[in-house]
Each structure stands twice: as C-alpha cells, then as structure tokens.
Homo-oligomer: A and B are copies of this chain.
Amino acid sequence: MVEVQALVVDGEFPSPRRSGSGIDAQRLALLLAVLAQRAGVNLMRADVYASVAGGLRVTEPGVDLALALAAASAATNRPLPEGLVVVGELGLGGEVRSVPQLERRLAEAARLGFTAALVPPGTVAPPGVVALEVSDLRDAVVRALGEVRVSGAGEAPGEVS
C-alpha cells in the first residue's frame, strides 16, 4: 500500500513538466496522455508533479489508475473519497486491467481500514470492502470524482465544466 499524490500547476513554460518523485516521469507522461484522450481530462499543457509519500519508489503498473485519478482530482479540486483504495493498470485505450496479487492487496487495504476499492472488472473484494468495478478510465473518473471535464489546451487546469 502506497499513497500517491499529484499537483497540477498552470504551465508557464514551452514544454510542460512531468515530474515524478518516486514515480517514473515517462510513465506519468503516458498516463496524462491517456487521461486527456480517453477520459476528457486534458492536462497536456499543465505542469504535473506526482509523488509517492514516504520517499518510496514504485515501478509496477498497478499504481497507474491511482496516479491518473490523483492528477484528475488535483486538476478539478475535487478530493477523492475518504476510505477509497484504487488499484489497476491502465491500457493506452483507457481500459482498466487487473494486476497480480490484487486480492492480497485488497485484504491488506481492508486491514488498514479502507472500505471501498476502485478495481478492474471481476475483482473479488474481501469482507468489509465494497468493490467498485470500473472497466475504463472514464468510468473510474466519474465513479471517483463525479462528472468532470477539463478541456482544452491553454486553459487553466482545475477548471471544471
């Protein structure tokens, strides 16, 4: 269990920053492209910083969905729900994919007090955890943050229509 965070800042410089602390910046850039193309949250011109709490380093794709939602949450100023754990790999088409040892991770999350999990379709959640199955990133954004759209290059990030 790791905690990822994102910070979205109106980009002032020629090429926007994708800066990861504990996260691969290349993967972050790719996830932001998916977020723009597949879920209508366009941060292509914003500076986006992402970080894993505690100085940890994460290299496996199970953190993809959490990272994308953290960026969408930061851009829209809508917090993610309390007690929600997010697990899943993202495909470039926006589809949410399962990852190894997903059930074991959810069991650990249950022990830590999480009561809901945003997960790939077909995931079996442990007792006490509600599984919110999402098939693609657009679904996941709506389930976690409500109906949002951050549109278009040149606008300030965080605008919601």
Residues of A within 8 A of B (CB): 5-7, 9, 12-15, 17, 19-21, 24-27, 29-30, 33-34, 36-37, 44-45, 47, 49-51, 53-55, 59-61, 74, 89, 91-93, 97, 153
Asked if B19 and A29 sit within 8 Å, CB to CB, the answer is yes
A51 to B24 Cα, complex, angstroms: 13
Closest to A70 in B: B92
Say what secondary structure dominates the interface of chain A. mixed
Indicate how many identical chains form the complex: 6
Known contacts A5-B92, A21-B27, A30-B21, A60 near B55 by CB under 8 Å? yes
A72 to B88 Cα, complex, angstroms: 26
Which residue from B17, B53, B92 sits with its C-beta under 8 Å from A74? B92
Asked if A33 and B7 sit within 8 Å, CB to CB, the answer is yes
A49 to B92 Cα, complex, angstroms: 8
Can you report 21 residue pairs joining A to B where beta carbons are below 8 Å apart?
A: A5-B91, A5-B93, A6-B92, A7-B93, A9-B33, A9-B44, A12-B45, A12-B153, A13-B15, A14-B14, A14-B15, A19-B26, A19-B33, A20-B26, A21-B27, A21-B30, A29-B49, A30-B49, A30-B51, A53-B91, A53-B97
